[in-house]
């Protein structure tokens, strides 16, 4: 009853539904763009690319041209592919670039300033998706984003407050202040927000494609910005960048097929690993929000994240044992010491072994009437990246270099531990938690999901899947339900209000869980679409200021 009351208070009892298409993103304006593309005859890929470019305009905290991401695409013929357009380390990057002479991490160097940026992949990735899987021209798909940047849009209360909050950290960068304030004065809700430089950049991309961003005028503006701030990205780095098609991580859970992102994202591997660990247990009968199901899920999360620290990295540079980590037999081995009544402390949980053998992110989901489905997660890493707008180009740069392991066993800004598999090397892609995922049942995509949230992304998607499959929630309920999170280290459970009641917290503490604490922030934003009872449904996460749309 508690969860039902929560949903009714939020007005989320039923998702938006239709029969022709559905889009869920972190921006209502961007979702509207996707629906309009579908109405004009575009497929789900066309709509997803249009949403991606629109988010660069309307959701600058994470929508981007200067970052990167991942896409999982399932076409109506049943084929599934993933596209890795993660950022890469510049050629001048090296393993110890963020350490002082004594080998200590230099505070803020991997997160603030020009040195924090990897080579952007978003533009290459979105354009490759359109060219290979779409049906519309660049000009048509980019036109809505160009109009939103050139003509402007009215700022919502949430976005205006967001701008105010970030201005102080942008004060050292005049071009950033010029874009996100009025000569240093914060924007107010309802004011028109125009981005002329960004509109010009989008027009060049629409006309020239990849060539502009990676070899043309925009590339020159990026390199000039790097030179001003002693960054490392060079003209050669930009010219050499290429997104990569990869085979998806494939799992199964209670009769459903699960398709997710492979390394250098850790999301798909960990998601399938955790699903495998909990599948033998009757999650549904334990009940949503109970201490027993929370304990089960937390113990699976801790083991999966321990493996992440040891094994996961860029598969083009290290041998990642994805197949082994996603086997059900491996999950059974890892979970063999699970005790329903007590905890094994995190410091006693190491990574698994086997015999030697031959945050700020945004996610959007799209599905069309033909059954084409796209899940895309993109990021600048922190909200507004490194807070630096490329002079003359109008977009923010990422601070993704912090997602490398800058020093073994030293946590990054999300508290995640890494080792040699994720150390910095030129041209290497940094490990990610992004988990764009498509769930299929009886040959049809029944759920398209993913989330922002740094290290909480994977556990967010994990909970949305269990909410949908085990607890039989509709997509609105599955997305809105309060969440909890554990990532092995630090050894603590964080939870949102109403995710765990006082009895559940006490029960978890009694089992030996330490640091069970109310989360100081909202966990994830799982913008999702679903196919249920013959209708397409959309639900943008109520934790963010957006509405999913369908028609």
Burial of 161 (0-12, 13-18, 19+ CB in 10 A): middle
Q: Report how far apart, in Å, the C-alpha atoms of 239 and of each of 236, 242, 243 are.
A: 5, 8, 12
How big is the chain by its Cα radius of gyration, in Å?
A: 22
Q: Provide φ and ψ at 471, rounded to 5°.
A: -95, 0
**Cα 487 from Cα 88, distance rounded (Å):** 25
Contacts of 212 (CB under 8 A, 6+ apart): 201, 204, 205, 218, 219
Buried b (16+ CB within 10 A) or exposed e, 102-130: eeebeeebbbbbbbbbbbbbbbbbbbbbb
3-class state of residue 17 by DSSP: strand
Determine the distance from the C-alpha atom of residue 347 to the mean position of all C-alpha atoms in its chain, rounded to a whole number. Answer: 28
Q: Report how far apart, in Å, the C-alpha atoms of 109 and of each of 12, 144, 547 are.
A: 42, 37, 37
Query: What angle, 0 to 180 degrees and rounded to 10, lies between the N-to-C axes of helices 122-133 and 138-151?
Result: 140
| SS (HEC) of 234-275 | CHHHHHHCCCEEECCEEEEECCEEEEECCCCECHHHHHHHHH
Buried b (16+ CB within 10 A) or exposed e, 462-474: bbbbbbbbbbebb
Sheet containing strand 16-18, edge to edge, reads 16-18, 535-539, 528-532, 444-449, 437-441, 256-260, 249-253
Look up residue 449 and give its DSSP letter: E
> Is-contact 544 26, C-beta < 8 A?
yes
Given 201, 361, 362, 449, the catalytic residue: 361
Look up residue 119 and give its DSSP letter: B
Burial of 266 (0-12, 13-18, 19+ CB in 10 A): buried
The DSSP element (H or E) to which 122 belongs, if any, is helix 122-133
Tokens of 520: 């100081």
Q: Report how far apart, in Å, the C-alpha atoms of 142 and of each of 21, 30, 289, 401, 498 are.
A: 19, 12, 43, 29, 41
Contacts of 235 (CB under 8 A, 6+ apart): 215, 219, 220, 223
The answer to whether residue 28 is catalytic is no
Tokens of 271: 């998601």
Which positions are catalytic?
A: 361
């Amino acid at each position: 009853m508690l969860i039902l009351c929560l949903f009714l208070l939020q007005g989320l009892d039923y998702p938006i539904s239709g029969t022709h298409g559905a889009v869920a993103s972190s921006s209502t304006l961007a979702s509207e763009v996707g629906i309009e593309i579908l109405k004009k005859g575009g497929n789900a890929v066309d709509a997803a690319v249009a949403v991606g470019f629109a988010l660069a305009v309307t959701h600058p905290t994470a929508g981007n041209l200067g970052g990167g991401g991942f896409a999982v695409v399932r076409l109506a013929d049943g084929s599934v592919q993933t596209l890795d357009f993660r950022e890469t380390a510049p050629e001048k990057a090296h393993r110890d670039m963020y350490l002082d002479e004594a080998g200590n991490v230099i505070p803020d160097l991997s997160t603030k300033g020009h040195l924090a940026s990897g080579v952007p992949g978003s533009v290459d990735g979105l354009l490759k998706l359109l060219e290979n899987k779409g049906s519309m021209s660049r000009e048509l798909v980019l036109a809505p984003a160009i109009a939103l940047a050139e003509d402007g849009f009215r700022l919502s209360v949430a976005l205006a407050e967001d701008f105010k909050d970030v201005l102080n950290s942008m004060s050292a960068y005049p071009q950033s202040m010029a874009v996100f304030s009025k000569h240093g004065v914060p924007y107010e809700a309802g004011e028109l927000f125009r981005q002329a430089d960004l509109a010009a950049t989008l027009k060049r991309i629409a006309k020239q494609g990849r060539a502009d961003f990676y070899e043309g005028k925009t590339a020159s503006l990026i390199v000039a910005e790097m030179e001003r701030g002693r960054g490392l990205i060079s003209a050669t780095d930009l010219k050499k960048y290429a997104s990569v098609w990869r085979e998806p991580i494939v799992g199964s859970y209670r009769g459903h097929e699960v398709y997710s992102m492979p390394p250098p994202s850790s999301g798909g591997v960990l998601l399938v690993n955790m699903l495998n660990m909990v599948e033998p247990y009757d999650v549904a009968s334990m009940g949503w929000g109970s201490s027993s199901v929370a304990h089960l899920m937390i113990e699976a999360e801790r083991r999966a994240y321990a493996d992440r620290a040891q094994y996961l990295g860029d598969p083009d540079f290290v041998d990642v044992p994805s197949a082994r980590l996603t086997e059900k037999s491996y999950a059974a081995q890892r979970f063999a010491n699970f005790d329903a009544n007590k905890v094994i402390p995190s410091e006693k949980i190491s990574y698994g072994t086997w015999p030697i053998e031959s945050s700020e992110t945004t996610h959007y989901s799209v599905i069309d009437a033909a059954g084409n489905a796209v899940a895309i997660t993109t990021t600048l890493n922190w909200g507004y990246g490194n807070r630096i707008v490329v002079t003359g180009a109008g977009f923010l740069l990422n601070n993704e270099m912090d997602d490398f392991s800058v020093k073994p066993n030293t946590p990054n800004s999300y508290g995640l531990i890494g080792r040699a598999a994720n150390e910095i090397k030129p041209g290497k892609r940094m490990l990610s938690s992004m988990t764009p995922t498509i769930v299929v049942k009886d040959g049809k995509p029944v759920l398209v999901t993913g989330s922002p949230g740094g290290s909480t992304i994977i556990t967010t998607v994990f909970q949305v899947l269990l909410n949908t499959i085990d607890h039989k929630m509709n997509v609105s309920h599955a997305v809105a339900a309060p969440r909890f999170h554990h990532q092995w280290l630090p050894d603590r459970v964080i939870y949102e209000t109403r995710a765990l009641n006082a009895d559940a917290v006490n029960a978890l503490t009694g089992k030996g869980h330490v640091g069970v604490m109310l989360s100081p922030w909202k966990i994830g934003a799982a913008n999702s679409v679903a196919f249920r009872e013959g209708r397409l449904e959309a639900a943008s996460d109520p934790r963010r200021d957006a509405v999913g749309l369908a028609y």
